[in-house]
Amino acid sequence: IVENPRMTVIGTGYLGATHAICMALLGFDVLGVDVDSSKIAALQSGRVPFYEPGLSDALSEALASGRLRFSTDFAEAAEWGDVHFLCVGTPQSKGSDAADLTYVDLAFTELASRITRRALLVGKSTVPIGTAARLTSLVQAVSPAGTELELAWNPEFLREGYAVKDTLHPDRLVFGVQSVWAERQLAAAFRPILEEGTPLVVADLATAELVKVAANSFLATKISYINAMAEVCEATGADVNLLATALGHDSRIGSRFLKPGLGFGGGCLPKDIRAFAHRADELGVGQAVAFLREVDSINQRRRVRTVNLVEELAGGSVRGLRVAALGAAFKPNSDDIRDAPALDVARMLHEAGAIVTVYDPEAMENAKRSYPELNYADSLAQAVEEADVVALLTEWQEFRDADPDDLAELVAHRRIVDGRHALDAADFRAKGWEFRALGRPANPSTVSLEADAREGLLAFA
Ligand code: UDX
């Protein structure tokens, strides 16, 4: 094995760029490669082409160390690298739930066909189970005769907003390997992280592929579970926020990913559960994960319910009324609008005849490009000006901090839907707002109880 392997990272999107930068910070020589020359030019000049806290500084540091460079040349990568990480995207196919593997297949063949030295190809993309086995044959078929190429799988679990931290200090590492050599070579590539005591699971290729989709499916299921309880709460006058708090205190359940609200979006969870269900059907085990379709439906229904709450507050219809949509990104601290619940709700309100004005601290450019039919404001204040109803759809800190009295000065009517349980309902109600939230009673008897309880606690403190 090569103790201090030279690494290439093929595909410098969200995952690849972060991986390349972090590996250079850990002391390895890294070459980032992408077919998109504008992306490569940006990264080489120290600019991260998307929003991710801390990544820009990390890129500057990695470039300054002299250990990181970028190129569009696959031949250069093939000739230079000992370990190649393949990080290209696997979006949802058009017109189907299946993952689109065009980019993965292309990246592996483009690279493997040019490699003439011993090397390890490591897939990091989220793929349908069985892809790594298929790629192993594909790589063998295209690689020059006599080349010792091996394929491994190393799923990645980073979250947007925490990409650098999750990459440098992951909860665990998973190596899917076909030989002891590959296991040792990967261990050398991750030595600094393993030396921190990070748990390592060494597995076969199929298990490594499955870990990723199984983890994302579990997280999606946990979110939809509490959102299903929100539906029950709405029918019974119970409060899903209190329910989630009480459930979360059970250490076997845990409070993380149990936050009720508008539900999950983004470039991973929605497409991963659909691709998994699709792949399970192909494998003849569709029934085992049939519940994932239900998880998806529950998630979609929260968006419709949010639109309904806005309509209810507006007196039945939003036609011709002004709605302020606070948030566009699929979650705070991100400019990513892929499958964003916030924009889906804004679009539905627009289609129902509302005049929708969107404001998001980071995702405005992306939102404008994809939803030109909506109106956009430059600030929170501008968005809520003369609004008939305000809808909080992504829980940015700026929205959490908004003062109900200040907002009241700007809006036409004090009506607000909190789609993310980000606001203090009692405070808004006390200041004259009609306040609605998913899974919570419209006119709670607990309002005074909540306020009293808080005062009681303060008295004790
Ligand atoms: C996810 C996985 O967490 C990560 O491990 C994987 O590598 C990629 O997919 P990410 O898409 O960045 O990461 O977002 P995440 O923080 O997981 O949030 C996903 C969605 O779930 C967001 O829309 C968020 O608003 C929503 N969510 C999350 C909830 O609605 N409730 C929760 O309790 C948690």
ipTM of the complex: 0.97
Q: Is 40 in the same domain as 144?
A: yes
CA dihedral 190, 152, 17, 212 (to 10 degrees): -100
| Residue 175 near residue 205 (C-beta atoms within 8 A) | no
Residue nearest to atom 21 of ligand 1 (CA): 264
**Domain identity same for 380 and 328:** yes
Together in a domain, 131 and 95: yes
What is the SS3 assignment for 294? Answer: helix
Q: What's the pLDDT score for residue 445?
A: 65
Residue whose CA lies nearest to ligand 1 atom number 13: 159
Strand bridging mode 389-392 / 200-203: unpaired
List % helix, strand, coil for the chain (3-state, nearest 5): 45, 15, 40
Rounded distance, CA 357 to CA 325, Å? 6
279 in the same domain as 354: yes
Q: In the chain, what percentage of residues exceed pLDDT 70?
A: 96
- Of 211, 241, 264, 338, the one to substitute when testing ligand 1's pocket (max ligand atoms within 8 A of C-beta) is 264
Cβ 173 vs Cβ 158: under 8 Å: no
Give the span between the Cα atoms of 166 and 446, in whole angstroms. Answer: 39
Measured from the CA of 159, which atom of ligand 1 is nearest? Answer: 12
Residues 198 and 221 in one domain: no
Q: Name the residue at shortest CA distance from atom 10 of ligand 1.
A: 159
Tell me which of 22, 87, 233, 268 is the catalytic residue. Answer: 268
Select from 203, 231, 253 the last residue of a domain. 203
- Say how far apart CA 257 and CA 248 lie, in whole Å: 10
Alpha carbon of 159 to ligand 1 centroid (Å)? 7
Does the pLDDT at position 283 exceed 50?
yes
Distance 261 CA to ligand 1 centre (A): 13
My answer on whether 24 and 144 are in the same domain is yes
Same domain, 166 and 259: no
| Ligand 1 atom closest to the CA of 166, numbered from 1 | 5
* Residue ID of nearest Cα to ligand 1 atom 5: 157
Nearest CA to ligand 1 atom 15: 159
Q: Per-residue pLDDT for 448 more than 80?
A: no
- Residue among 296, 285, 272 at smallest CA distance from 212: 272
Total domain count, the chain:
2
Q: Residue 153 — φ and ψ, nearest 5°?
A: -125, 135
- Give distance in angstroms: CA of 90 to centre of ligand 1: 17
Give the angle subtended at the CA of 156 by the CAs of 183 and 362, to the nearest 5°.
155
Say if residue 98 is in the same domain as residue 233: no
Place of tokens 């949010």: 306
Domain that holds residue 122: 7-203
Q: Annotated binding site, which residues?
A: 34, 39, 90, 126, 157-160, 212, 257-261, 265, 271, 331, 338
Nearest to 439 by CA among 302, 310, 320: 302
Annotated binding site for substrate: 157-160, 212, 257-261, 265, 331
Distance CA 340, CA 387 (A): 22
Ligand 1 closest atom vs CA 261: 30
H-helix or E-strand containing 345? Answer: helix 341-351
**394 lies in the same domain as 295:** yes
pLDDT-derived band at 443 (thresholds 50, 70, 90) equals confident
Q: How far is CA 121 from CA 99, 151, 175, 374, in A?
A: 21, 5, 12, 44
437: in domain: yes
Q: What would the pLDDT profile of 336-354 be if each residue is shown by its tens digit?
A: 999 999 999 999 999 999 9
- Residues touching ligand 1 (Cβ under 6 Å) are 157-160, 216, 219, 223, 257-259, 261, 263-266, 268-269, 330-331
2-55 per-position pLDDT tens digit: 999 999 999 999 999 999 999 999 999 999 999 999 999 999 999 999 899 999
Is residue 208 assigned to a domain? no
Average pLDDT of the chain, as a whole number = 95
Ligand 1 atom showing the smallest separation from residue 395 Cα: 25
In the reported structure, the alpha carbon of residue 435 is separated from the centroid of ligand 1 by a whole-number distance in angstroms of 26
Q: If you measure from the C-alpha of residue 329 to the centroid of ligand 1, how many angstroms do you get, rounded to a whole number? A: 12
pLDDT tens digit sequence for 42-70:
999 999 998 999 999 999 999 999 999 99
In angstroms, rounded to a whole number, what is the distance separating the alpha carbons of residues 395 and 260? 12
The pLDDT of residue 459 is above 90: no
| Minimum CA distance residue for ligand 1 atom 24 | 264
Task: Write out pLDDT tens, residues 352-371.
Answer: 999 999 999 999 999 999 99
Which atom of ligand 1 is nearest to 160's Cα?
12
Q: What is the rounded distance in angstroms from the CA atom of residue 254 to the CA atom of residue 263?
A: 18
In a domain, 1, yes or no: no
Of the three residues 203, 227, 254, the one that is the final residue of a domain is: 203
Cα end-to-end span (Å), the chain? 60
Edge-to-edge strands, sheet with 200-203:
68-71, 30-33, 7-10, 83-86, 119-123, 149-153, 173-176, 200-203
- Pick the residue whose CA is nearest to atom 28 on ligand 1: 257
Per residue in 188-247, pLDDT tens? 999 999 999 999 999 999 999 999 999 999 999 999 999 999 999 999 999 999 999 999
- Are 174 and 232 found together in one domain? no
Sequence-ordered list of residues with C-beta below 8 angstroms from that of 341, at least 6 positions apart, any chain = 262, 263, 264, 265, 302, 303, 306, 330, 393, 419
Query: Does residue 95 lie within any of the structural domains?
Result: yes
CA of 269 to the centre of ligand 1 (A): 7
For residue 461, pLDDT over 50 is answered with: no
* Residue 268 designated active-site: yes
**Banded model confidence at residue 447, pLDDT cuts 50, 70, 90:** very low
- Per the domain annotation, does 2 fall within a domain? no
Q: How far is the CA of 405 from the centre of ligand 1 (A)?
A: 32
- Measured between alpha carbons, how far is 43 from 228 in angstroms, rounded to an integer? 43
In the prediction, which pLDDT does 455 show? Answer: 53
Asked which of 168, 203, 238 is the last residue of a domain, the reply is 203
Q: Give the pLDDT band of residue 444 (cuts 50, 70, 90).
A: confident
User: Can you tell me the mean pLDDT for 321-342?
Assistant: 97
Looking at the fold, whether 229 and 97 belong to one and the same domain comes out as no
pLDDT mean over 165-192: 98
pLDDT digits (tens, 9 = 90+) for 85-105: 999 999 989 999 999 999 999
Give the residue with greater pLDDT, 320 vs 461. 320
DSSP β-ladder status, 7-10 and 149-153 = unpaired
Query: Is 335 inside a domain boundary?
Result: yes
Position 119 pLDDT exceeds 70: yes
Same domain assignment for residues 251 and 170: no
pLDDT in tens, 418-435: 999 999 999 999 999 999
Q: What is the side-by-side order of every strand in the sheet holding 434-437?
A: 375-376, 355-359, 322-326, 389-392, 415-418, 434-437
**Domain assignment of residue 108, yes or no:** yes
- Taking the C-alpha atoms of residue 414 and residue 411, their distance in angstroms, rounded to an integer, is 6
* Residue-wise pLDDT tens digits, 378-391: 999 999 999 999 99
pLDDT of residue 89: 92
Q: Is residue 211 part of a domain?
A: no
- CA-to-CA distance for 419 and 349, rounded, in angstroms? 14
Q: Give the domain CATH number at 122.
A: 3.40.50.720
